[in-house]
Amino acid sequence: MKFLGIIPARYASTRFPAKPLAMLGGKTVIQRVYEQVKDALDEVYVATDDERIEAAVKAFGGKAVMTSTSHKSGTDRCYEAYCKTGADYDVVVNIQGDEPFIRKSQIEAVKACFDDDSTQIATLVKPFVPADGYDALENVNSPKVVVNSRMQALYFSRSIIPFQRNRDRKEWLANHIYYKHIGLYAYRTSVLKEITALSQSPLELAESLEQLRWLENGYTVKVGISDVETIGIDTPQDLARAEEFLHQHQELG
């Protein structure tokens, strides 16, 4: 199978404008994301709506494609970028442009989901561990996932799922495996075309989670497991934490 990586990267951001071009250890954030994943995929493009990002990507030797400024999701931007490349791929992998420490192992884990011929869409989760504490489990900015016996997503929620009726909440992590969603997606190209034509769904609007639109419309989402903890950059404060993380992990360059 052929896998195309697309990294959606917008210039405008309410909490952190120009985030893809922010410097992290002497490189832009978008360059670090690109370099982390390029060897795990057949080809990688940054999909952007801003010429400054396009120029920065080309300056470090990466590939970029300009896309519309009107997209409401990274999935929509991925589909336009895929169409503009004109290439023939089996699967498109949607990589978050603000995850500079994403690992090759995570890309390989989501690719492996397509060893199952029935997989339409794939994503990753990371198990919570007791050391994370209840506050991490309760964090609404960290969506949770429940899966079936075939490792397909049953539901995504900002709430804690499942609810353990007969245990104290402080004991929940010790008595059940909870999964934290990692926002890495992969889609068969035919499915990507279909889901970008769907209207927003009631569950999606309620939770503000795009993936619920796919479940609500009958698509299956295969779930791979990763034990890697990444650092997403949403704010300048996150960037400062990422600098400290990079300083502690010199092997990441």
Mean pLDDT on 92-119: 96
* Placement of tokens 């029935």 in the chain: 118
CATH classification number, 1-102, choose in 3.30.70.3270, 3.40.1000.10, 3.90.550.10, 3.30.70.2700: 3.90.550.10
**pLDDT at res. 168:** 95
pLDDT in tens, 129-146: 999 999 999 999 899 999
**pLDDT at res. 234:** 86
**pLDDT at res. 23:** 97
**pLDDT at res. 154:** 98
- Given a contact cutoff of 8 angstroms between Cβ atoms, the answer to whether 94 and 4 are in contact is no
Mean pLDDT on 50-56: 97
Mean pLDDT on 46-60: 97
Mean pLDDT on 43-60: 97
Q: Residues of the chain with pLDDT > 90: what percent?
A: 88
Domains 1-102 and 113-182+199-229 share a fold: yes
Query: Residue 118 above 70 pLDDT?
Result: yes
Give the chain as a DSSP string. Answer: --EEEEEEE-S--SSSTTGGG-EETTEEHHHHHHHHHGGGSSEEEEEES-HHHHHHHHHTT--EEE--S--SSHHHHHHHHHHHHT---SEEEE--TT-TT--HHHHHHHHHGGGSTT--EEEEEEE--GGG-HHHHH-TTS-EEEE-TTSBEEEEESS-SS--TTS-GGGHHHHS--EEEEEEEEEEHHHHHHHTTPPP-HHHHHHT-THHHHHHTT--EEEEE---------SHHHHHHHHHHHHH-GGG-
**pLDDT at res. 249:** 79
- Given a contact cutoff of 8 angstroms between Cβ atoms, the answer to whether 92 and 186 are in contact is yes
**pLDDT at res. 110:** 98
pLDDT in tens, 180-227: 999 899 999 999 999 999 999 999 999 999 999 999 999 999 999 999
Return the bridge partners of 47, or none.
8, 65
Query: Residue 66 above 70 pLDDT?
Result: yes
pLDDT in tens, 226-246: 998 878 898 999 999 999 989
Give domain limits for the chain.
1-102, 113-182+199-229
Cis peptide before 162 (omega within 30 of 0): yes
Distance separating alpha carbons of residues 209 and 204, to the nearest angstrom: 5
**pLDDT at res. 13:** 80
Q: Look at the alpha carbons of 245, 247, 249, 251 in this order and tell me if their dihedral is positive or negative.
A: positive
Query: Residue 253 above 70 pLDDT?
Result: no
| pTM of the full structure | 0.94
Query: Residue 151 above 80 pLDDT?
Result: yes
* Placement of tokens 């989402």 in the chain: 221
- Given a contact cutoff of 8 angstroms between Cβ atoms, the answer to whether 45 and 38 are in contact is no
- Given a contact cutoff of 8 angstroms between Cβ atoms, the answer to whether 61 and 46 are in contact is no
Fold (topology level) of 113-182+199-229? Spore Coat Polysaccharide Biosynthesis Protein SpsA; Chain A (3.90.550)
Query: Residue 57 above 70 pLDDT?
Result: yes
**pLDDT at res. 229:** 80
Q: In whole numbers, what is the pLDDT of the chain averaged over residues? A: 95
